[in-house]
Amino acid sequence: MVPSKKHIESAFRLASERYAAVGVNVERAIAALAKIPVSLHCWQGDDVGGFENLGGGLGGGLAVTGNYPGKARTPDELRADLDKALSLIPGRQRLNLHAFYGEFGGKKVDRDEIDASHFKNWIDWAKQQKIGLDFNPTCFAHPQAADGFTLSHADKGIRKFWIEHCRRSREIGAAFGKALGTPCVTNVWVPDGFKDTPADRMAPRERLAESLDEVFKKPLPPKHTLDAVEPKLFGIGTESCTVGSAEFYLGYCITRKKLLCLDAGHFHPTESISDKISSVLIYLPEILLHVSRGVRWDSDHVVTLSDDLLSIGREIIATGNPARVHVGLDYFDASINRIAAWAIGTRSMLKALLIGLLEPAAIRRAEVAGDTTARLSLQEEAKSLPFGAVWDYYCESQGVAVGAAWLDEVRTYEKAVTGKRT
Ligand code: RNT
Ligand code: ZN
């Protein structure tokens, strides 16, 4: 049953008092949360399909499993589904688009021909939603990426094609930023890598660095677009070596002043990106996160409020300036309702940030005092503080469904809209 407004508010009052007793100002935490947008990834809505008609399958080592009915088949359907998803999430978020979600009016527009005009409807939609847009060149699902290499390809012509695509993507990102008054994070991920042991790892890495330098040659105003690059440990079909490894891109970002994108599924399974946030922020002014949930591998499961996510949320806050960390989601699950998948993942991300914001300062003080016993005790006690009452109140005050009531809205929409798609 959905709690009444009265219950939500009295639970919030009691929770505020409980937090005040440990020195936490709940109102301040809520106000800070409202200022942290999470960039929803458009590709959860249609299983990384896109709206081109160029052939080529998904590729790039990406895999989406499941056949839940009702995926978006057109840009209008995808936008309608996003409207629904955003209405279930408190606060103002962003939308992260991939290049192959342009609208090409039935024409064959190849990746090296795209421009901002193909994204006009997306810009109009974002204006209407009052949200910012982020962007990604799509360097997969294309015949020119058929052998798994793009910017590091040994063939100059293929490299040139992808350089042009990425160049145009940055221009589109800048057009988004200009039109919407908030910088677009334009993130380059390429699938390039080797299934089996390469004889030469150096040459492809040299070519990747060279191609990226070409892509980023033209300076674009950071108030319009911010360049990010995304490393990866391995992918399906690139088990032995990925050209754009963590070390490759960390060095690239430090020397070229780019944002590093840390994807939660792109490291060894026991590594968490939470520990990497402060490490890379020593050298880079800003970074991008692709929050995801790998189950045994980079499986891109829907983000849930796991220990890993809690650590990511707290670290973003604990660094002292969350504005330096751009938070994006990256997962794709076709086995459940896709709008629910957006709502679950985004709400979980926001909860993790809220819990980080509600952390009692006494934990840090215990550490400063060298009292590790107190630090561990307080960390454990903090886990049972009533953050749920604060979260419910935040949802309610933002006019968003409280508790699992959002699922009823998804079901209603499913009956009327997505369930009718064939
Ligand atoms: C792939 C990367 C990349 C993609 C998206 C679709 O492993 O994580 O970010 O998931 O660009
Ligand atoms: Zn990613």
Domain-embedded: residue 31: no
Position 193 scores a pLDDT of: 98
> Is the pLDDT reported for residue 56 higher than 90?
no
The type of residue at 125 is: W
* Catalytic (active site) residue 290: yes
> Is the pLDDT reported for residue 298 higher than 70?
yes
For residue 141, the CA-to-ligand 1 centroid distance in Å is: 12
Closest listed ligand to the CA of 46 = 1
Position 44 scores a pLDDT of: 98
Give residue 3's pLDDT band: very low, low, confident or very high (50, 70, 90): confident
User: DSSP state, 205?
Assistant: H
pLDDT tens column, 197-245: 999 999 999 999 999 999 999 999 999 999 999 999 999 999 999 999 9
Give residue 54's pLDDT band: very low, low, confident or very high (50, 70, 90): confident
Q: Which residue out of 134, 330, 333, 359 is catalytically annotated?
A: 330
Domain-embedded: residue 290: yes
* Catalytic (active site) residue 275: no
Structural domain count of the chain: 2
Position 321 scores a pLDDT of: 98
Domain-embedded: residue 95: yes
* Catalytic (active site) residue 268: no
Residues 83 and 222 reside in one and the same domain: yes
User: Alpha-carbon distance 211 to 205, whole Å?
Assistant: 10
**Minimal CA–CA distance to 22: which of 393, 387, 388, 278?**
387
Residues 189 and 292 reside in one and the same domain: yes
**Minimal CA–CA distance to 229: which of 193, 264, 265, 188?**
188
Across the chain, mean pLDDT equals 97
Q: DSSP letter string over 64-101?
A: -----S----SHHHHHHHHHHHHTTSSS--EEEEEGGG
Q: Furthest-apart CA pair in the chain: how many Å?
A: 68
* Catalytic (active site) residue 189: yes
Domain-embedded: residue 235: yes
Q: Provide the CATH number for the domain around residue 333.
A: 3.20.20.150
For residue 285, the CA-to-ligand 1 centroid distance in Å is: 23
pLDDT tens column, 102-144: 999 989 999 999 999 999 999 999 999 999 999 999 999 999 9
Give residue 2's pLDDT band: very low, low, confident or very high (50, 70, 90): confident
DSSP H stretches of helix in 130-182? 156-180
Nearest CA to ligand 1 atom 5: 330
Given a contact cutoff of 8 angstroms between Cβ atoms, the answer to whether 100 and 75 are in contact is: no
The type of residue at 255 is: T
* Catalytic (active site) residue 266: yes
Q: Is the dihedral of CA 357, 359, 362, 368 positive or negative?
A: negative
Residues 106 and 82 reside in one and the same domain: yes
Position 55 scores a pLDDT of: 67
Q: Which residue out of 43, 122, 125, 189 is catalytically annotated?
A: 189
Residue range of the domain that includes 10: 1-24+360-422
Residue 404's CB is within 10 A of a number of other CB atoms, namely 9
Residues 187 and 95 reside in one and the same domain: yes
CB-based burial of residue 379 (10 Å sphere; 0-12 exposed, 13-18 middle, 19+ buried)?
middle
Give residue 53's pLDDT band: very low, low, confident or very high (50, 70, 90): confident
User: Mean of the pLDDT values across residues 402-408?
Assistant: 95
48 Cβ closer than 6 Å to some ligand 1 atom: yes
Closest listed ligand to the CA of 289 = 2
Boundary (domain end) residue, out of 340, 357, 374 = 357
Position 57 scores a pLDDT of: 82
Residues 153 and 246 reside in one and the same domain: yes
